[in-house]
């Protein structure tokens, strides 16, 4: 049934780590190990574009996590999620040249970067790609990251969201510092850029002092697409005001539905049309020709995950050292300074399936969010149920092994979704905003999205 909050067709993002990805996945015979080569990313980009994905998204962190037992060893030994990550921004430069339609998203932290450099990188990428850039705005959550940037500990959640608020606002002002028609290119006059249409920003705030203007013309999309994944109340509030796309992760349809209603409600309360925000929960489908083969593959992948690999990732996600907890007992209730969304997910798993910490480690390391395991038709049934059931506007697809699982999804599940009229058969526009059905922001749009009390 069509919903006033949702498009008729779903949107697809791909979640890629510029490294080995899933702890068991890199050990699977179908995975390819040249994560350090441009060819590897070109191949993934072309696969996703053939499957008509909206965008590819590169997650990123700024440390080798050491929260589990105070050491990075388990992450490194097991090729866990945080073991190796190339810097995603240059990787997107490679992809901009290898693809024509695919949206290109990289993660940059507002806690450790500066607005001028972020505005400049994403404006550059938006020009180079013809309007396909997106920025995943994160605030980071690990002390290990703080220690790489001259601090002992990470700043508290409230302060980091205040900094993020000011950061995004200044970045948007910098994108607006060139009027859309500022670049004149009149050779005879001569007039390269009209100085009257290029403005200083003169921002002076609690965290940043930025004069401007930017030294790059206004991006083709006005603002590159903004992605956020806040899960705490402060994070949800920030995301529902600023984000065009929201990433989240859920262990069940019910929790996905609650989150969806909460974010759309918050967006409406901030005066936004709920359709302006696309909520794309992460899923890790396992696809095979028969149900039995998919289940066997799932079991085979689970066997490749050493519990410590998943627990060391969960430790840094929750910002809790899980090494001293008894591994043959359930995870007790704990106060989580780290990612609340991941905690809710593992609490749900612990309670629903009575998992011990060791089982949880194996499960978390091989995460199959949403339990979409089966034939292309069965997986499409599950996705359709979430989409039509008010749980999402589409999905962020993670590969159990890279890059093969993207091929399987693109060649099996996508045609099934297309047959049902749930997904595009071709791109209709050229920019990422076109794919997502989002309007190009006019200059000054940041005023509408900023926290009201902060807006002058
Ligand atoms: C699908 C997904 C992808 C994420 N990717 C990143 C990432 O690449 N880097 C990062 O630092 N945080 C990432 N996060 C974490 C979020 O940015 C955020 O910190 C987290 O959801 C906790 O929200 P909170 O800060 O409101 O507690 C991701 C979260 C989700 C659900």
Res 1: pLDDT: 47
CB burial of residue 333 (10 Å; 0-12, 13-18, 19+):
exposed
Beta strand 11-16 pairing with 191-193: unpaired
- Computed over every residue of the chain, the mean pLDDT equals 93
Is residue 12 within 8 A of residue 53, CB to CB? The reply is: yes
What is the CB < 6 Å shell around ligand 1? 59-61, 107, 138-141, 229-232, 235, 247-249, 282, 339-341, 396
CA dist., res. 148 & res. 319, Å (int): 17
Average pLDDT over residues 151-174: 94
Give dist(CA 374, CA 371) in Å, integer.
Answer: 9
Give this complex's ipTM.
Answer: 0.98
pLDDT in tens, 257-305: 999 999 999 999 999 999 999 999 999 999 999 999 999 998 888 888 8
Q: Ligand 1 center to residue 341 CA distance, Å?
A: 9
Please report how many Cα atoms fall inside a 13 Å half-sphere around the Cα of residue 121, on the Cβ side: 21
**Across residues 22-43, what is the average pLDDT?**
86
Residue with the smallest CA separation from ligand 1 atom 31 is 248
Could you please report the per-residue DSSP string of 256-276? HHHHHHHHHHHHHHTT--GGG
Residues 6+ apart with CB under 8 A from 138: 60, 107, 108, 109, 110, 228, 229
In whole angstroms, give the CA distance from residue 354 to residue 450.
Answer: 43
- Which pLDDT score, from 0 to 100, does residue 18 have? 87
DSSP lists the bridge partners of residue 373 as 286
pLDDT tens track for 428-449 = 999 999 999 999 999 999 999 8
pLDDT at 367: 66
Using one digit for the tens of pLDDT, what is the confidence trace for 297-342? Answer: 988 888 888 899 999 999 999 999 999 999 999 998 998 888 888 8
Q: How many Å apart are CA 240 and CA 276, to the nearest integer?
A: 10
pTM of the model: 0.94
Q: What is the pLDDT of residue 366?
A: 74
Beta-bridge mates of residue 245: 227, 278
User: Which among 156, 319, 339 is the best mutation to test ligand 1's pocket, defined by most ligand atoms within 8 Å of the CB?
Assistant: 339
Domain ranges of the chain: 11-178+207-290+368-454
Does the pLDDT value for residue 455 go beyond 60? no
H/E element, 248: strand 245-248
CA 138 to centroid of ligand 1, rounded, Å: 6
Q: Using DSSP, state whether 435 is helix, strand or coil.
A: helix
Q: Which of 32, 15, 209, 170 is nearest to 107 (CA)?
A: 15
DSSP string, 193-224: E-GGGB----EE-SS-EE----SSPPPTTSSP
* Binding-site annotation: residue ranges for FMN: 60, 107, 161, 232
Q: Residues in the chain, how many? A: 456
Q: Which helix (H) or strand (E) element contains residue 428?
A: none
* Nearest ligand 1 atom to alpha carbon 157: 25
CATH class of the region 11-178+207-290+368-454 = alpha beta
Going by CA atoms, what residue is nearest to atom 6 of ligand 1? 59
């Amino acid at each position: 049934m069509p919903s006033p909050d949702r498009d008729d067709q779903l949107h697809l993002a791909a979640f890629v780590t510029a490294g080995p990805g899933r702890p068991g996945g890199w050990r699977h015979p179908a995975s390819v190990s040249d994560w350090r080569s441009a060819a590897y990313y070109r191949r993934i980009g072309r696969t996703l574009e053939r499957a008509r994905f909206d965008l590819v998204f590169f997650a990123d962190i700024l440390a080798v996590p050491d929260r589990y037992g105070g050491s990075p060893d388990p992450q490194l030994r097991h090729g866990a999620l945080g073991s190796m990550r190339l810097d995603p921004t240059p990787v997107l430069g490679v992809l901009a040249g290898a693809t024509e339609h695919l949206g290109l998203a990289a993660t940059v932290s507002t806690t450790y970067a500066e607005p001028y450099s972020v505005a400049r990188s994403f404006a550059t990428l938006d020009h180079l790609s013809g309007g396909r850039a997106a920025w995943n705005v994160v605030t980071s959550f690990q002390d290990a990251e703080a220690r790489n940037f001259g601090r002992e500990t990470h700043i508290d959640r409230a302060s980091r969201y205040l900094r993020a608020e000011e950061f995004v606002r200044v970045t948007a002002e910098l994108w607006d510092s060139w009027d859309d028609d500022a670049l004149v290119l009149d050779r005879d006059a001569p007039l390269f850029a009209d100085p009257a249409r290029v403005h200083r920003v003169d921002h002076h705030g609690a965290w940043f002092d930025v004069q401007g203007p930017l030294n790059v013309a206004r991006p083709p999309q006005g603002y590159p697409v903004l992605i956020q994944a806040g899960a705490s109340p402060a994070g949800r509030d920030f995301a529902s005001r600023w984000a065009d796309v929201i990433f989240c992760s859920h262990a069940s349809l019910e929790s996905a539905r609650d989150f969806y209603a909460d974010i759309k409600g918050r967006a409406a309360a901030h005066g936004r049309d709920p359709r302006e925000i696309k909520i794309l929960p992460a899923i890790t489908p396992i696809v095979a020709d028969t149900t039995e083969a998919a289940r066997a593959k799932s079991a085979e992948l689970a066997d490749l995950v050493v519990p410590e690999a998943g627990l060391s990732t969960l430790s840094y996600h929750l910002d809790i050292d899980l090494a001293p907890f008894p591994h043959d007992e359930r995870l007790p209730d704990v106060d989580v300074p780290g990612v609340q969304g991941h905690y809710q997910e593992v609490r749900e798993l612990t309670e629903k399936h009575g998992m011990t910490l060791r089982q949880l480690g194996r499960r978390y390391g091989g995460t199959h969010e949403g339990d979409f395991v089966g034939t292309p038709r069965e997986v499409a049934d599950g996705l359709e149920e979430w989409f039509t059931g008010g749980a999402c506007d589409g999905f962020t697809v993670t590969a159990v092994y890279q890059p093969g699982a993207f091929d399987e999804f693109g060649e099996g599940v996508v045609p099934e979704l297309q047959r049902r009229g749930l997904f595009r058969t071709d791109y209709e526009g050229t920019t990422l905003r076109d794919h997502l059905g989002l309007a190009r922001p006019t200059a000054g749009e940041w005023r509408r999205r900023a926290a009201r009390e902060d807006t002058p």
